[in-house]
Amino acid sequence: MAPDGSKSRTDEGASRLLSLPAELRNRIWRYAVVFGEVTITVADPHPKTPALVRTCGQARNEAIGIWLLENTFSTTIHNCDGSWTTGTGVEFDSVVATAFRTGAVGDGSQGEYHWKFQLVGGPHWGNLLTWMKPVHGKGYSTLKNGDPSWDPVLKVVMAALSAVAGMKERTWADVEVVLEHLHMGVAASDIAWS
């Protein structure tokens, strides 16, 4: 109760928005966090989720999956140094990890999030290895899609990501051995990877 005797906001209980049926709330969340065909470019190594999903736990739980699964994210990776993508900040990482594990959005539908990346610069094995270590530690990478058919560097990156993902139960030392075999094979066919 407010000092003047009127009801305070906390006395009113749950918000009217949050008391709407889930189908209506999901429509509202989509209007607020889905940007259609526009690509959200992630240039900041610590991207933030939309303000709406930081307002309360229920809004976060219901809208975050919609934001992740119904938008397309893109980033540029220079000289195979994608290490920042595995440490994008506690908030964003936990959101992506949850979406990666469950694939669920607030209305119960399933899907995959879309994160495109463009490689610029040249091959750099040291950077790629540095990137793969935290990928192994987390058991996932936020960059998990791509069509490597047109780019030989992307083929190597995707092969490394695939190898690391397939060995998440193994030690980093075991993974390093496999990656070194990949490195030797790639370096034999392209001196730039030496």
Q: What is the pLDDT along the chain (194 residues), one digit of tens a residue?
A: 455 555 545 444 568 989 999 999 999 999 998 886 656 666 665 566 788 888 888 888 888 888 877 887 777 778 888 776 665 444 455 555 554 444 444 444 455 556 667 788 889 999 999 888 888 877 655 555 455 556 788 888 888 988 888 888 899 999 999 999 999 999 999 999 98
Domain segments of the chain as ranges = 16-193
Helix ranges (H only) for 40-141 are: 57-69, 90-102, 125-138
